[in-house]
Structure 1
Amino acid sequence: MKAVVQDVYGSADELELRDVTRPVPTKGEVLIRVRAAGVDQGVWHLMTGLPFLIRLFGYGLRKPKVPVRGREVAGIVEAVGAGVSRFRAGDEVYGTCEGSFAEYVCAKEDKVAPKPANLTFEEAAAAPISGVTALQAVRDAGEVTVGQKVLVIGAGGGVGSFAVQLAKAFGAEVTGVCGTGKVDFVRSLGADAVIDYTKEDISSAGVRYDVILDTAGNRPLSILRRVLAAKGTLVLIGGERGGKLTGGFERSLGAPFVSLFSGQKFKGLVSKETHLDLEALTSLIEAGSVKPALDKVFPLAEAPAAITYLRAGRSRGKVVVSV
């Protein structure tokens, strides 16, 4: 089968489309014929091995432990391993795995759910990581409720585009923060107001927000605290602006300690994809409350270009690889 493979950590130039052996599902796994694969920031981190902290999490110290890139997947079950009871061959599914930039991939049964009936495979592939991360940020960490004022920083990106829609679905009044080129896009997601950070500061509106969801990772806590309500909650999602060692994740790791000395709550979100949250996301998608926002679809052979495009920050919503 064809797959996008890398032998060493590095830039997208290290990725190569080549023939590899088709995987065989082991106990608790399903073999998926991949139709589409999402591109998220995690793909870049695993490609480069940066920050170095991720290498200590079992992804390989000197080279990638799993040589095939890609983690979000949508496709059709080809076969199932021993003990699998939720799926059978022919089922359309979506979820997370390791190595989805390929014609076939194995995924754990508990990381996969039936594909939303109203989505294409490309749309479904955009949802598992970004959508579930946003769901956990809005529902669990932020505990967003009806009538609250919510600020989504990085509203034009993969996680941010889901977060805007989910916060609206939970009944909040949502303000999105993005660059000039994404203002109309963020409005189209349902945001009640949009702040163009190239023209105005997030404090310019004079609003104190009940919940701030920060997916951008480049503002000091001191600035965010000034626009957070006295009893508000700040959720830090990822870290893309730090150094090679921790990548900015120290901001998320240290946030809970700041909460000990303030009425405000600071939470660093480390998302965990499960089939239960995928099913919750499916319900919202099939109800029409949320829809993956696709910016661009690349063919499998152009997966390196897809990663480069995403990393450049130009995408409005999600980037997907079609297989």
Structure 2
Amino acid sequence: MKAIAYTTYGPPSVLNMVDIEKPTPQPDEVLVKIHATTVTAGDVRLRSSNFPPIAWIFVRLIYGLFRPKKEILGHEFSGTVEAIGKDVARYKVGDEVVGTPTMLATGSYTEYLSIPENRKKGVLRLKPKSLSFNEAAALPVGGMTALFLLEKAKLGRGQNVLIYGASGSVGTYAIQIAKAQGARITAVCSGSNLDMVKSLGADATLDYRSQDYSLLEEKFDIVFDAVGKTSKSKASKILKQEGRFASVQALTSPGQRHLEVLCELADKGKLRPFIHKTFPLQHMVEAHQYVDKGRKKGNVVIEVDNDG
């Protein structure tokens, strides 16, 4: 089967199409034919080993000091169950699923994944019927991150929420999740993306290039940094006395419950992944080059086959 692998850290050109053996599911595993995956910020950082100096050595010790330990990237996927082990109870052949390959030996830049039905890390669930394979593939990482951090910030009905970096993957989910909870949302992004974030549910918008959000007279219950490019000290200028700051730079540990909530919101028509660009698997280098530019809106999806 085909997969995209890298054996050294560096620019997108280190990614190569390779042939590897198709996995055979163990008794407790589900074999998934991958239809779509994505290029996340995590994929780009791991490929390039672009981490802050204080974290660089720790990340390298975990993921490979001199070369990547895990040669196939990819943090989320959608697909169809092709085979199941004899002990699998919750899935059957033909089921459409969505999930993450967390803690598996390989990521989702491949045609097939064999996944344990039960595991402590990573998620797997039937795909929401309301979403296409392409949309479902983009749901777990950005969506679960946004939901986890907003819950930690105690998001509630009627709150005033400012989302900084609202046009990225996490930001686009944060808008929709907060809107579904009955919050009022101010979305901060570049001027070219203002119409897009309005279409997702933002009540007010602000172009960060022409206006400093910290100078707003309005006060907020939550300031959510969805791109890791602002600070708690700056956000505190517009937070209410009991207001809370949340950032994607914080440690997160979302799990199966978070994916369940997102899928329920999707099936209720309250959440839909925003896909900016789609590339075929064989154009993975081009997709990473695009994300490297830092102007990605929402999600970039990789079609592994023609069923996405």
**TM above 0.5, one fold?**
yes
Partner of 1:185: 196
Partners of 2:223 and 2:76 in 1: CA distance: 26
Say which is worse superposed, 98-107 or 182-191, in terms of deviation: 98-107
**Structure 2: runs of 5 or more not aligned:** none
Equivalent residue for 1:271, pick from 237, 242, 253: 253
Equivalent residue for 1:96, pick from 93, 100, 103: 100
Partner of 2:113: 105
SS at match of 2:236: helix
Is the CA contact 1:236–1:269 (under 8 Å) kept in the aligned structure 2? no
Partner of 1:133: 145
Q: How many residues align?
A: 291
Give the AA of the match of 1:3.
A
Partner of 2:221: 210
Shift of 1:40: 1.0
Say which is worse superposed, 76-85 or 195-204, in terms of deviation: 76-85
SS at match of 2:50: coil
Is the CA contact 1:96–1:107 (under 8 Å) kept in the aligned structure 2? no
Give the AA of the match of 1:10.
G
Is the CA contact 2:216–2:238 (under 8 Å) kept in the aligned structure 1? no
Shift of 1:27: 5.4
Equivalent residue for 1:86, pick from 90, 110, 114: 90
TM-score in terms of structure 2 length: 0.90
Equivalent residue for 2:64, pick from 60, 64, 80: 60
**Correspondences of 1:24-173 after superposition (within 5 Å):** 24-26=24-26, 28-51=28-51, 52=56, 53-56=58-61, 58-81=62-85, 83-97=87-101, 98-110=106-118, 111-138=123-150, 140-173=151-184
SS at match of 2:174: helix
Is the CA contact 1:156–1:316 (under 8 Å) kept in the aligned structure 2? yes
Partners of 1:162 and 1:220 in 2: CA distance: 20
Partners of 2:217 and 2:20 in 1: CA distance: 56
Shift of 1:99: 1.6
Say which is worse superposed, 281-290 or 74-83, in terms of deviation: 74-83
Give the AA of the match of 1:54.
V
Partners of 1:209 and 1:307 in 2: CA distance: 36
Is the CA contact 1:29–1:81 (under 8 Å) kept in the aligned structure 2? yes
Partners of 2:229 and 2:130 in 1: CA distance: 36
Q: 1:65 to 1:236 in 2, by over 3 A?
A: same
SS at match of 1:64: coil
Percent of matched pairs sharing the same residue: 39
Partner of 1:304: 285
The one-character-per-residue Cα deviations of 1:134-178 (angstroms, maximum 9, x if unpaired) are: 11122x212111110001111000010000000000110001110
**Structure 1: runs of 5 or more not aligned:** 239-267
Q: 1:281 to 1:10 in 2, by over 3 A?
A: same
- Find runs of 4+ consecutive structure 1 residues off by over 4 angstroms: none
- Give RMSD over aligned pairs: 1.6
Partners of 2:137 and 2:181 in 1: CA distance: 23
Partners of 2:5 and 2:303 in 1: CA distance: 16
Shift of 1:303: 1.2
Is the CA contact 1:137–1:269 (under 8 Å) kept in the aligned structure 2? no
Partners of 1:12 and 1:234 in 2: CA distance: 34
**Correspondences of 1:270-289 after superposition (within 5 Å):** 270-272=252-254, 274-289=255-270
Equivalent residue for 2:207, pick from 183, 196, 210: 196
The one-character-per-residue Cα deviations of 1:116-148 (angstroms, maximum 9, x if unpaired) are: 00111000001011111111122x212111110
Partners of 1:11 and 1:224 in 2: CA distance: 34
TM-score in terms of structure 1 length: 0.86
Matched, 1:233 2:244: yes
